[in-house]
Chain A
C-alpha cells in the first residue's frame, strides 16, 4: 500500500522531518519498505498561461504557442512581452488555458526513475524554436494518457509551482501490507492519519462526515429503494445500496483527485470509478457501482438483490473478461436469480458501467472475510478491494462512505440521488468495552504510566476512556475490531508510547543450573568423533522424491506423502537417512573428491512406526554414514569397503566405551533402513553386552549402486543415536588402574576352516580368558592378521594376547600355562589348530 504524506497532512499535523516520521512509523505502527520523494520529480514543473496559440504553417497538428510563466524561469529565450515560445502537438491546446510546462534543462517526470532521464532543451521544430514542452499526464507520470496536455483546473498565477498547486511536493510511503493484516482501519488514509497522530502524541479528530454514522440524504425518489435480502446472515454483516441518476459517465474527476489516485498506484478512469477508488483509499472501504439499467434488464425490470452462496454449475462473466465457474463456497450478489457480481472480489461484465450509463446503483457492503479469503485463492483475484475486505472491514463505516461518495459523484459527474438507501444489516455492531486496572499495564510492559497517561494515549486515537482511581474502562471505537481483551489495550499503550522507550532489564532467576540435554551432548560427541576421523557432516532435506526411495529399494507407500509439495523432488518424508547421502556421493566424486565420508544426524519418519500418544507420527533419529571412493581411487588392495565403514563404527563404539557385535543381515530383513544394504555383505549391529539393537552396516545392493552411480568402493551404516544414548547412560566408568608390573605379549595364529568367522575365533579366545578366575590377572586381546592362502580352504587368524598382573611380574612358565589353556579351548571351540 502506498501512503501519501501530504494526504495524511490533510487530517493530522506532522511536525517532524520525513526521516523522523518514517522512523516513528516504523517503531510504532508498521514497517515501511521504501520512501519516494515525489517533490524532487516535480520540482521544475511550472504552471503557465497559454497566451497565444496558432497553427504552425505546413503542419497538420503542431501549434505555435506563447506562454506566460510569470518570468519565473531563468536563461530562457523570451519575446519582447517576456513570453516564451513553445511548439505543442496536443489537440487540446488553446489560448487562455493554464497548462503544465517543463522548461529547458528540466527532467521529464516520466523518465525520472530511468537510468538516463530525459533532459529537455530548446530545439527547432519546423523552423520554430521550441523551449521545453507543455506536458501530458503521461509525461508528468500521473497516469497513462497521452491524448492531450494536462489542463490545470485550479486557479493559479502563471509561474506557480505545479507541485505546490497539486500537493505533489510529497513523500510516498510504501507500506508492508503483511504487518497490517489485523488492522483494516489503517488501510485507509484517514485511519492511517489517526495512527500517525497518536504515535506523535497528538489528539486526532475524525472528519465530521465520516463520524456521522447515520447521515441524512435527500433523494428525489425517482426510483424505488432497491430491495436487498441477505439470504444467509453469515455471508454479509451489512449491505447498503443507493441509486443515482443523471450520471455523466464521460465526466472526469478534478486533476487533484486524479493525482492522489495515481500517486497511490490507481489509474484514474472516470469520475464515477475514481470516486469509488478515492473512497477506498481514503476510508479503506470498497464500493461497487453497477449500471442500474443493465441491472434491471437481467431481472425483468425489477430490482431484487440477494446476497447468496454460488450455485453448483453456475457461471459468471467478470469485468476482467474472464468467465468463472462458481463454487458453493463463493458469495455472489444476484438480481433475482442472476448473479451479477462475485461479491467483494469483482463485478460482473453484464452490469458494467460504461459510456452510455445514465443511472447507477452503488453498493457498500462487507462480506464474510473467511469466505472471501478462499475466493481470493480459488479465483486468483487480489484486487485493492478484496485485500481490504479480507481484513474484516467494520460494518458501521458503510453509511458515511456511501453518502460521501454519492455527494462527490454529484459534484464531479452530475449524479442525482434517486432513491433512499437500502440497509440490510444483520451483523449489527455492539461496542466492545474493556475494563482493566492501571497496574496490569505497567506490570506487563515494565513501565510507570499513570492512569491519566494511559487515558491520554488512548483518547488520542479516539478511544473512549473513563478513569476511576486505578480502574480504567475503555470503549473501543467500532473501527478497531482487533481489540477485545486487556492485552490488546496494553499493546496499544506500549505501541503508542513506543516500545523502545521501555527499559530493557533481565528477569530475576535463582542459581539453579540447567543441565544440557544428554541427547544433544551425545550427538555432539559422536559428531566430534566423526569429524576428527576426517568425515564431513551434511544436512539434507527431509523430503525426497519417490524415485530416490525406489532406487534405494524402499517402498514409498509406507512414507508420509505431501499433498501440496512444490516439486516432485519433495514428495515424501524420507524413511531413513542413508538414501539422502547416497544421492550426494556421485556429484561429489564428479566434483573431484576421490575418497571421502559424509554423515548426517537427523530425524526420519515412516508410517510403519505408527503414532505417539499425542496422535502425531513417531519420529526416529538416525545417524547415517557413507564412506566412498571413486573407481579410480583403486582401493581394492585395501580390502572390501565394508571394513572401512566398520572401522568408523567400531571407533565410535570404542570411544563411547561400548563394544558392538556384527551378525549377517538376513536376506529378508524388511525395514526401510536395511533395504539399501546388500544382505551378503552387510550386518546387523548389536551391543555385545545388552543385545540392544544399534543398526545396520554394509555395502549396497547392485541395483542401488547402479541407481545412484556408486562404485564398489562405497559402504555405510545407519544406526540409532537413541540406542547409543541408552547404552552410554547405563555405563559406569571403564577406567582400569595401571599395573606396576610389566606385561608380556604372546602372538598366536589359529588356523581354522575358511567358513569359521573371525568373530568365532575372537569370541572363543575371550570366553577362554573370562573363565580364568584369577582377578589379579589382566589380559587383553588385539587382532594382528587375517590370512587366507590361495587354496581358500583355511584361514589363519592371529591374535595378540597381552598378559599382566597387578601383583607381580608373570614368569615364563606362568604365561605358558595360561596360554596353553587358552589355545586349547580356542582350538577345540573352532575346530582349528595353532600354527
Chain B
C-alpha cells in the first residue's frame, strides 16, 4: 500500500476520533484490519518499513484517543464557584481534629537547634538544595579529582549541578557576605541548615536525603579552644546538663586542623560514663577557604563545624529506622501529634 494511502487513512481516523463519543472503538475499525492484511501482499524488503509505518499510525491514533477521552471526561466535569466559602446548600467545612495535627519531628528539632544557635549569636541561613561544583568543592579547598571528593558520593545533574552533600556548600557565601562586617571590627557567626544528598542505597541507617547544620565563626583571634568551648556549650544547652567532650583527628580539606567531636552520652539518653556519641566534624577554617572568600588569613581566623540532625532526633526519641522520616506515613507522623 503506497504511503499516501496511509496518510489519508490517518487523517480519516483522526477526524473520526475527534467527534466520537466512544473513541476507543476506532482501534477496532476495519481500516486497521485492511492495513495489517496488506502486509502479506508485500515484497519481503518492503514488509519491515511498511509494518513500522502502520505501527506508528496506530500509536498516533491511540494518543489522539487518549486526548479525546480526557476531553469527554472533563466535559462532564461541573464548574465550581471558586469564590464561595462553601458549596451550595452546604455549610462551612470543619477543620480536622486539632489533636491529630503534627509538625514533622525533623523540623521541630531543626527549629530547636537554630533557636539555640541564634541565642548564642549565630545568624541562620538556609542551605541550597541544588548547587555547583565551585560551592560544593572548589571554594572549600577540594582540588579537582582529589580522592577526598569520593567520600561525598555526590549526585550530579545533566548540567553538572550538584545536590549538595554538605551544608558547607553555603560557607563561601557566608564568608563573603560577612567580610565587610569582619573588616569593620566585627565577627562572622552564622549557621547554615537544610537538606543534603548523597548517592547511597537506603536502609534503616542510610539515607540519600538527610539534614545538616553547619556553623562558621571568624574573628581576629578565634582559637581551637573557642571552637571546643562553643560546641560543648551548644550540646550542654541542648541536653540541659554539663557534658564531657572528646575529639579525634580527622581529615576534611576545608579545615586544618580537622577533628571529629564527641560528647559523653547524656543522662537523658540513658548514657553511662565512658559511652561516647560522635556528633560532628569540625576544625579551624583552612586559609585557602578564607582566601577564596576574599578574607586575609593572616589577619583573621575561624572555625567551622557540621553535623547531622536525624541522629539527634533518632537518639532523642529512640527512632529505629531512618526511612520513617521521609515516608509521609501518618502512622509515624501522628506519634508526634
Binding site for B on A (CB under 8 A): 26-31, 178-183, 369-370, 373-374, 390-391, 443-447, 485, 487-488, 490-491, 494-495, 499-500, 502-507, 509, 512, 514, 516-517, 519-520, 524, 527-528, 530-543, 560-566, 570, 573, 580-581, 583-584, 587-588, 591, 593, 595-598, 601, 603, 605, 614-617, 619, 627, 637-640, 642-644, 646-648, 650-651, 661-665, 678, 680-683, 697-699, 701-703, 757-760, 762, 783, 786-788, 795
Known pairs A491-B256, A643-B84, A701-B74; A638 contacts B90 (CB<8 A): yes
Contact B106 A446, beta carbon cutoff 8 Å = no
Contacts A/B (CB < 8 Å), 11 sampled: A29-B249, A179-B249, A514-B122, A537-B102, A539-B104, A560-B157, A563-B156, A642-B80, A643-B84, A681-B79, A787-B88
B265 contacts the other chain (CB 8 A): no
**A538-B104, A617-B161 known; A445-B225 Cβ under 8 A:** yes
Contact (Cβ within 8 A) B80 A516: no
CB distance from B313 to the nearest CB of A (A): 11
Answer whether residue B311 sits at the interface, using C-beta atoms and an 8 A cutoff: no
Inside 8 A of A447's CB, which chain B residues have their CB? 225
B100: chain A residues at CB < 8 Å are: 534, 536, 596
Question: Smallest Cβ distance from B299 to chain A, in angstroms?
Answer: 12
Given A181-B251, A537-B333: A564 in contact with B326 (beta carbons within 8 A): no
Would you call B145 and A520 a contact (CB within 8 A)?
no
Whether the Cβ atoms of B247 and A541 lie closer than 8 Å is: no
B125-153 Cβ-contact flags toward A at 8 Å (1 or 0): 11011111001000000000111101100
- Is B77 part of the contact surface with A, judged by Cβ < 8 Å? yes
Leading 3 A-B pairs by shortest Cβ distance? A446-B225, A639-B87, A534-B96
Contacting residues, chain A, for B70 (C-beta < 8 A): 702-703
Query: Given A570-B208, A643-B90, is A664 in contact with B331 using a C-beta cutoff of 8 Å?
Result: no
A488 vs B245: C-alpha distance when bound (angstroms): 24
Query: What 19 new A-B contacts, CB under 8 Å, besides A29-B249, A391-B147, A543-B208?
Result: A178-B151, A181-B148, A374-B145, A514-B119, A520-B114, A536-B334, A537-B107, A561-B157, A562-B163, A573-B163, A581-B328, A588-B329, A598-B328, A601-B107, A639-B89, A702-B74, A757-B82, A758-B84, A786-B88
Cα of A284 to Cα of B148 in the assembled complex, Å = 20
Q: How far is the CA of A28 from the CA of B280 in the complex (A)?
A: 17
Q: A514-B123, A540-B326, A783-B85 are in contact. Are A573 and B157 (CB under 8 A)?
A: yes
Report chain B residues within 8 Å CB of A647. 85-86, 92-93, 95
Interface size on B, residues (CB 8 A): 110
Decide: B156 and A562 in contact? CB cutoff 8 A.
yes
The answer to whether B199 touches A566 (Cβ under 8 A) is: yes
Asked if B5 is an interface residue, CB under 8 A from chain A, the answer is no
**Binary per-residue interface labels of chain B (254-295) against chain A in the complex, 1 for a CB within 8 Å, 0 otherwise:** 001111100000000000000000000000101100000000
B305 within 8 A of A: no
Are A500 and B246 in touch, CB under 8 angstroms?
Answer: yes
Binds A, one of B33-41, B46-54, B227-235: B227-235
Contact of A373 among B102, B125, B145 (CB under 8 A): B145
Residues from chain A with Cβ under 8 Å of B77 in the complex: 678, 680-681, 702
Interchain CB contact (< 8 A) of B328 among A445, A588, A680: A588
Task: Kindly name the residue among A369, A542, A787 whose own CB sees the greatest number of chain B CB atoms within 10 A.
Answer: A542
Residues of B within 8 A of A502 (CB): 224-225, 228
Given the complex of chains A and B, what is the CA–CA distance between A27 and B259 in angstroms? 9
Q: Is B223 an interface residue (CB 8 A)?
A: yes
A573:B130 contact, CB within 8 angstroms = yes
Most chain B Cβ neighbours within 10 Å, of A27, A534, A596: A534
Q: How far is the CA of A755 from the CA of B86 in the complex (A)?
A: 16
